[in-house]
Amino acid sequence: MTNTTQQNRSKLGGLIKSYYPSLTKSEQKVADIVIEQMEKVIYYSVTDLADVANVGETTVLRFCRKIGLKGYQEFKLAIAKDLSTLQEQNIKEEESDSLTISIANYTKMAIDETVNMIDDNNVQKAIDMIKNAKGVHFFGVGTSGLTALDAKHRFIRIGKRTDALIDPHIQSMTAATFDETDVVVGLSVSGSTKDTIDSLQVAKENGAKVIAITYYARSPITKIADCVLLSGGKESPLEGGSLAAKISQLFVIDLLCTGIALEDKKKSVMMKERTARAVLNKLV
């Protein structure tokens, strides 16, 4: 489907056009980008959209309010609703036997995207930080919290004592006990999850090092982090918990875990055998 067709069927596009004459020239630049590139804009942070439109972030926020929305997140949700409706209509037009292939390809693309986005030097930096830390803690909420629990499981298997905290209050209280010997890995696809960012800030203020795993290179979480690892699998506001985003996060976790295991193969093999034996009697 062409962009023109999508614009004609877009509720938000029509709303923007109705307000267009009353917008300032700078706000009209934002409107033009949104109308022309709606499928890209949904994955932009407020900073990204401001950069593409060549305006300030405050202009983007003013634009959102001018068209009757409370803020940037409500604006992205409006785009997501529009695109979701269009996608549902498109899916109905496709043959059912293509669904499996479509989802598989989308997931593979998320891994390929991660490979292209991630910096090997930052991966090694993160490995060194985790290897030398006395305490390693994974912070995440929602689906990213589930990834944190998976990460804890992976690292325990190779003998690294780790913790996964998924409750915001427990995160903040625990972060207040950290010092320079601790490393915190913050997981957030959007990079704007307030609970996670607040907890990471507490950890940072108490001397802990912070590693961020996120999709957005320019997001609040990256401003706190000592090391940023980018993962693919972007998701819209209506796709929270998408499989592609989670698999991309797990791929980065696997990079870190495997990297640390290779640094001390003998210990890693020994700990894998120990942990495996510890649960042998749990199997029928």
Residue tagged 């930096």 (tokens): 125
Given pLDDT bands bounded at 50, 70 and 90, which one contains residue 1? very low
| The last residue of a domain, from among 30, 63, 93 | 93
228 strand-pairing partners: 212
Q: By percentage, how much of the chain surpasses pLDDT 90? A: 59
Most confidently modeled of 37-46, 62-71, 79-88? 62-71
Same domain, 79 and 112: no
Answer whether residue 101 is part of any domain. no
pTM to 2 decimals?
Answer: 0.75
Task: Tell whether 54 and 155 lie within a shared domain.
Answer: no
Residue 86 pLDDT exceeds 80: no
Q: Token match 């693309």: residue?
A: 109
CB 50 within 8 A of CB 60: yes
Q: Point out which residues pair with 15 in neighbouring strands.
A: none
Kindly tell me the burial class for residue 33, based on how many C-beta atoms sit within 10 Å of its own C-beta (0-12, 13-18, 19 or more).
Answer: buried
Looking up residue 56, the CATH number of its domain turns out to be 1.10.10.10
pLDDT tens, position by position, 137-174: 999 999 899 999 999 999 999 999 999 999 999 999 99
Domain range holding 42?
3-93
**Does 197 lie in the same domain as 156?**
yes
Q: Is residue 34 part of a domain?
A: yes
Residue 80 lies inside a defined structural domain of this protein = yes
Nearest-angstrom CA–CA distance, 228 and 79: 28
Residues 89 and 112 in one domain: no
Give the domain CATH number at 126: 3.40.50.10490
* Residues 86, 125 within the same domain: no
